[in-house]
Amino acid sequence: MDPILLLGAGGQLASDLVQVLPSASLIPLKRADVDVTDLSAIDRVLDAHQPAWVVNTTAFHRVDDIERDPESTRQAFIVNAAAVHHLALACTRRRARLLHLSTDYVFGGGPPGPYAEDALTAPPNAYGVSKLAGEQLIGLADPAHIIVRSSGLYGVAGSAGKGGNFVETMLRLAHKGAPIKVVNDQTLAPTYTADLAAGIARLVAASAPGGVYHLTSGGACSWFEFARRIFELCGLTPELTPTTSEAFGAPARRPRYSVLVNGRAAALGLSPLPPWSEGLAAYLHAKEYISR
């Protein structure tokens, strides 16, 4: 099989992709191996490996820092847009296909959600703007490239850039015995990265047509409902109360509603990702927090 180059191999999604993409042809590269912002290094890597596919999971996603700190904003646009544009062009020149990971944060959360792949975008924060810019630059480079939007990612490897993931944060707070407040006015489909990785592998195996694909867990919930289910499955009873986005006071606005319709993958006959509650149970079992 032709080589598949995986960028950002140290991340929580990429750790799961390593398990499901064909191992004989997979070349996983961490940031220490190649920095996506080093344009000449990207060219050298592509020339050395001649991949048929490049799967890019790299991103600068410190959402609140990007909103309030000009240097973080600059870095977000370098990593999430400018570097992605160069990568897309470099792939096109070598007749490789790029599959790039994007986010539900390209949507602002107003009507008419849930959002299909061709729905009007309206990012609510600077991070979302940087990711949308990357999407648009990929499309300009080559419409054969693939953009996968997902939401609320959590995986066994954790997210080093965010200091863990939401599930781990909730469990850590519960074990500390502290009261926990979680927003109840942001609705999404939290997605287990092992399920997302399997969906991405199906797109690659099918040599799916170019463009945008939504891949998220089935169903929807608020962050508060997600937290409540985490504690139910783990048999924990912390002091959990709902709050609002305004009361929580994060520097960056989040979408109030960012449920995505997984229409294009379904149209190809590809299996949907499991419901979010099943993904959560599978994650907690993989972490050995619960038994089946």
Residues tagged active-site: 127
Which three-class secondary structure state does DSSP give residue 4?
strand
Q: Name the token pair of 101.
A: 């990971």
How many beta carbons lie within 10 A of that of residue 269, not counting itself? 8
Q: How many CB atoms lie within 10 A of CB 107?
A: 26
- E-only strand ranges, 131-287: 146-150, 153-154, 180-183, 187-188, 191-192, 211-214, 221-222, 240-243
Q: How far apart are the first and last CA of the chain?
A: 36
Rounded Cα distance between 165 and 12, Å, is: 9
Q: Rounded distance, CA 135 to CA 114, Å?
A: 20
Distances, alpha carbon 194 to alpha carbons 16, 54, 139, 200, in Å: 5, 19, 27, 10
| Burial tier of 255 (Cβ tally within 10 Å: 0-12, 13-18, 19+) | buried
How far is Cα 10 from Cα 273, in angstroms, rounded to an integer? 23
